[in-house]
Amino acid sequence: MTEAKDFIELFLSHGWPVVIAFVTYHAVNMIFGWLGRTEPAGLFRALFNRRRQHLEKMLTQPYLSRETRNLARAELNQLSRRKLTGFSDPRLQKALTRLCLRHNLPSRYFIRWRTYLSEKNGRIVFARRWYRLAWRFFLIFNLPVSTFYTGFLFYLAAQKYDPVTAGFIMAFFAGALYLPWMAMTVPMGPWPTKEMENYVNVYNASSEETK
């Protein structure tokens, strides 16, 4: 009870930064609580499997035309490739599947660059300009601002509490807020991105040669 009162006093004395952290913490708890109760991932998986089962059933129905069954088979292939690669564009799925097989890459190797990859005229297009903008924004704004804000919360905790309690609060802020936020917002670094771009360039060059 005493610790709860001290925490409320911390909110009242230091204002909006701690209030925002408190609200964010409870919002995250509410979201994870809702996920645990409703299991939306399971619902989406059930819908996905139902669609797959419907298509598979269509393949066994003799009264359907060959064109209809071929279309159902093509959609089943798209669903499988989406699950493998993490991409929904059928043409990009096909290109990335070939690339992964050619270079013995994991099927979801390219998923970290999903925002920047597209397909055009049989070529894989990497939006290098948007990637560089996102990387610079992370380095110049997101990383320093988030680090400064977390450090400020550490300072407030150190001023208010004893070292042990402050250490627990700091560990909470780092583990529940700072590190997950960094993991969700950081783009892939330049070196892995350069390697990925080399794979794409080799694929595009070979595609040009086969035309």
Tell me if 120 is assigned to some domain: yes
Question: DSSP letters of the chain?
Answer: -HHHHHHHHHHHHH-HHHHHHHHHHHHHHHHHHHHHHH-HHHHHHHHHHHHHHHHHHHHT-TTS-HHHHHHHHHHHHHHHHHHHHS---HHHHHHHHHHHHHHT--TTGGGGGGGGEEEETTEEEE-HHHHHHHHHHIIIIIHHHHHHHHHHHHHHHHHHS-HHHHHHHHHHIIIIIIHHHHHHHPPPPHHHHHHHHHHHHHHHHHHHHH-
Tell me if 165 is assigned to some domain: yes
Confidence band, pLDDT 50/70/90 cuts, at residue 163: confident
Mean of the pLDDT values across residues 112-132? 92
φ/ψ (deg, to 5) at 210: -80, -10
Which residues form the domain of 179?
A: 88-211
Q: For residue 67, what are its two tokens?
A: 């064109």
Confidence band, pLDDT 50/70/90 cuts, at residue 27: low
**Under the phi-then-psi rule, with left for phi > 0, alpha for psi from -120 to 50, and beta for the rest, what region is 186?**
beta
Q: With CA atoms as reference, report the closest residue to 85 among 124, 53, 122.
A: 124
Confidence band, pLDDT 50/70/90 cuts, at residue 18: low
138-159 b/e with 16+ CB inside 10 Å = b? beeebeeebeebbeebbebbee
Tell me if 42 is assigned to some domain: no
Tell me if 72 is assigned to some domain: no
Minimum mean pLDDT range among 91-100, 135-144, 145-154, 159-168: 159-168
Tell me if 124 is assigned to some domain: yes
Please tell me the distance from the alpha carbon of residue 168 to that of residue 176, in angstroms, as a whole number.
Answer: 12
Please tell me the distance from the alpha carbon of residue 200 to that of residue 103, in angstroms, as a whole number.
Answer: 11
- Predicted confidence at residue 89, as pLDDT, reads 87
Tell me if 40 is assigned to some domain: no
Number of domains in the chain: 1
- Predicted confidence at residue 2, as pLDDT, reads 47
Higher-scoring residue by pLDDT: 122, 211: 122
